[in-house]
Amino acid sequence: MDRKDTKTILHALNTFPKAFFVWGILDRRPQRPVEMEERLRREFPYLSQFTFFNRNNFTQYCNRSLKGIVVKDYTYWEYNSFEKEVPTWQLVADSSIQPIAGFLLSKCAEAGLNCESFLASGKNSSEKHNYDRVQILLDLYTHGAQKVSALTHMSAQWDSTGKCRHVAKLAGTGLIEHTTFSSRENHIGYQWVEGKDPDEVCYDCPGDRKDKYSKAIKKIVEILPTSDRAMSPYELAKLAGYASESYIKHALRQLHRQGLVMKLSKGNHSICRLTDKGKRVVEKIIKPLILALNGDETQLDRFRKAEPTAEHLTAAMEMYSRGLGASR
């Protein structure tokens, strides 16, 4: 069996119509586009209402984003007493692709989630873009809230512009929170490290003014852990009732040394974290999906035993149709 790589398969399945086409229409025997259309009407008549399922789109899928998982050939067909050469396509010999497509359809439909919310399906998307978005979600799930600049370096081609674009898209679909802060001076801000307990704070400070510094630390601990964004020393001083930032800045340096706050500097002044919705998507969809893409046969067997139903397929295509309407 010639296993296809993760990027190729994710790109082939990044919309519901393509995922269905791979799962329900393609197989290991060559088919002409007209035969694919006939199979749709015969085996899935309830999907014929969706006009994007037609032979022209089937041909387009195979010639473009599915070309990495299909084999193209030609056959001759008699037309008006003449033999006409027409293209045929069949699925490559990788038994994991169709169960993965079926899982994506059924699980997303159950969750009421469009797969395009975590995959890159735009006109200029590439195999790499789908992979990168999934990796961002996995990275945030594994390591918690991070500065955008600190997200794992996905590949040699990873760039900050692309990273920010993916973060913005994922934030737009509600899978991550992407927060920024405003600062009057030098664009420096601090955010409490997720998961850190305020009770872990050490209030011992060196110097003659340790009592005043300890008091400033206490003030920060009362404010910053409950904030959903980074805050500048100026903002913290104002909220803590200080006329100047002097004590607050010293206290922030102490908390930073203790690993309890993150420092966000100019150019890196945004932070992202998974939302509850994003965590559910990673746990219920992305993690099982990655296991199967990596060849986990136990996971693939689970996928084979839980194929999408007519209700799943209809719900998925209705979601896709609504997305088409919203983008017009």
Mind giving me the DSSP string for 257-297? HTTSEEEE-TT--EEEEE-HHHHHHIIIIIHHHHHHHTT-H
Dihedral in degrees, nearest 10, Cα atoms 131, 137, 143, 147? 100
pLDDT for the residue numbered 129: 87
Q: Does domain 189-268 have CATH number 2.40.30?
A: no
Q: Looking at the predicted structure, is the pLDDT value of residue 185 above 70? A: no
Which region among 2-6, 181-185, 302-306, 309-313 has the lowest average model confidence (pLDDT)?
181-185
Strands (E), the chain: 70-79, 82-91, 146-147, 176-180, 189-192, 261-264, 270-274
Q: Looking at the predicted structure, is the pLDDT value of residue 127 above 80? A: yes
Query: Sign of the CA dihedral 158, 162, 164, 170?
Result: negative
**Residue limits of CATH 1.10.10 in the chain:** 189-268
Those residues whose C-beta lies under 8 Å from the C-beta of residue 294, and which sit 6 or more positions away, are 6
Token pair for 253? 């340096």
| Spatial distance between the Cα atoms of 18 and 289, rounded to a whole number of angstroms | 17
List pLDDT tens digits, range 290-315. 999 999 999 999 999 999 999 999 99
In contact, 31 and 39? CB cutoff 8 Å? yes
List pLDDT tens digits, range 135-159. 999 999 998 888 776 775 544 345 5
| pTM for this prediction | 0.73
* Higher local confidence (pLDDT), 264 or 278: 278
Token pair for 201? 């704070």
Local structure of 87: helix, strand or coil: strand
Q: What percent of the chain has pLDDT over 90?
A: 52
